[in-house]
């Protein structure tokens, strides 16, 4: 599998992305004033970033405020006869999954999950063990999360 092609963006695209990372609902009129450009330029640049799949505006929910209080990192070892990407596809469909990555080391996948409570987490772990090809799991609880989000984009 080849690496995805890096998107070519300029300083204006970068300024728009950084602003929208802080407040995805900021009006184009405010963005244009702050950046010293006309609203139509903001609109066109925004639309291109969205169409090209670079930018996606979402609502980030604070899990604690909606009753999701059990967070965990689950490390997963896959049977060597099974294709990792097939299991990753199954796992990514689980609603509790917030992050999924192939990793190095003793375990093949790292799965971060958000559950309502420990019983919900236990139920999820039991469902995982029923997935064909999962050989072993190791679960680490997050006791307190200090930061949610993604890194600020820079050039």
Domain covering 11-51: architecture: Orthogonal Bundle (1.10)
Would you tell me which CATH number, out of the four given (3.30.70.920, 3.90.1300.10, 3.10.129.10, 3.30.70.270), belongs to the domain 63-142?
A: 3.30.70.920
Check if 11-51 and 63-142 are the same fold.
no
Query: pTM of the entire structure?
Result: 0.77
**pLDDT tens by residue, 52-83:** 999 998 888 888 899 999 999 999 999 988 89
DSSP letters spanning 25-91: T--HHHHHHHHTS-HHHHHHHHHHHHHTTS----PPP-GGGGT--EEEEEEEEE-TTS-HHHHHHHH
**pLDDT tens by residue, 76-121:** 999 988 899 999 999 999 999 999 999 999 999 999 999 999 999 9
Q: Taking the domains of the chain in order of start, what are their residue ranges? A: 11-51, 63-142
With cut-offs at 50, 70 and 90, classify the pLDDT of residue 4. low
């Amino acid at each position: 599998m080849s690496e995805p092609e890096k998107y070519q963006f300029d300083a204006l695209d970068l300024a728009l992305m950084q602003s929208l990372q802080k407040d995805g609902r900021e009006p184009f009129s405010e963005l244009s004033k702050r950046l010293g450009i006309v609203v139509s330029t903001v609109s066109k640049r925004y639309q291109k970033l969205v169409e090209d799949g670079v930018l996606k505006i979402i609502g980030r929910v604070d899990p604690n405020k909606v009753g999701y209080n059990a967070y965990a990192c689950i490390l997963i070892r896959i049977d060597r006869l099974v294709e990792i990407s097939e299991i990753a596809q199954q796992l990514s469909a689980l609603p509790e999954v917030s992050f999924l990555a192939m990793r190095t080391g003793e375990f093949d996948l790292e799965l971060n999950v958000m559950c309502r409570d420990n019983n919900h987490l236990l139920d999820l772990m039991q469902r995982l063990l029923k997935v064909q090809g999962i050989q072993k799991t190791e679960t680490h609880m997050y006791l307190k999360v200090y930061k949610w989000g993604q890194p600020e984009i820079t050039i």
